[in-house]
Amino acid sequence: MQQTNNFIVLNIREYLENDDGRLGEDKLLQFLSEFSCPLNKDVERFLKQQAIEFAKKHQAVTYLVLSLEDAELLGYFSITIKPLVVKAEPFSNTVKRKLGRFSEIDKGEQTYNLAAYLIAQLGKNFNDRAKGRITGKELLESAIRQVQSLQYQAGGMVAFVEAENNAKLLSFYENYGFKQFDTRQTVSKESEPHELVQLLRLV
């Protein structure tokens, strides 16, 4: 469990793997049902409909960010490990040297093949009790701290995100050290295919 002055970050597995009758999957579903993110329905749908199954299947782990004051759900993020192909071109020689330490280099294609921590979901709760109580900056910093904790235990050096091609959103990530390196097309049953911008940073 990660804790700061104002927030607690709780792995949802602590609900799912707990024998305490006050917890468990039913209680967790009830708790998650109060999350609202009208700005991004995909973020809301993932938490309510997929986060538990993803955790059970070890596909991704979701972390709930709770208020230390009253345990209100303020936001969440999900982390998984993904294979990644990174084009060398956008990066400085210093970053290239660091990437080269833990990746397979394809000199012909000028790419690095590696495993990286994907911050797969990141969302604030906009319900009446939670709205305005955490900033995007605080939520992202909590996710990065969790990645750094995983890195301390298991190694690795790269975190990445995939964001909508929106100037304000991309600027938000770039302000915290993320750099664009590629794009990809989504494949989803729930929504039309669209382009996502991929950004990474060293941790």
pLDDT in tens, 76-88: 999 999 999 998 8
| Cβ burial, residue 157 (10 Å; 0-12/13-18/19+) | middle
Structure tokens of 169? 């959103």
Q: Mean pLDDT score of the chain, rounded to an integer?
A: 91
Pair 160, 119: CB distance under 8 Å: yes
Which percentage of the chain shows pLDDT scores above 90?
73
pLDDT at 20: 65
Q: Quick one: pLDDT at residue 191?
A: 63
Taking CA atoms, 185 is separated from 104, 152, 165, 192, in Å, by 24, 32, 11, 10
Of the CA atoms within 13 Å of residue 117, those in its CB half-sphere come to: 24
Whole-number CA gyration radius for the chain: 18
CATH number for the domain harbouring residue 115? 3.40.630.30
Residues 6+ apart with CB under 8 A from 158: 84, 86, 99, 114, 116, 117, 200, 201, 202, 203
What local confidence, expressed as pLDDT, does residue 72 receive? Answer: 95
Domain range for residue 119?
A: 2-202
Q: Which of 14-18, 53-57, 91-95 has the highest mean pLDDT?
A: 53-57
Looking at the 3D structure of the chain, how many domains does it have?
1
pLDDT above 60 for 25? yes
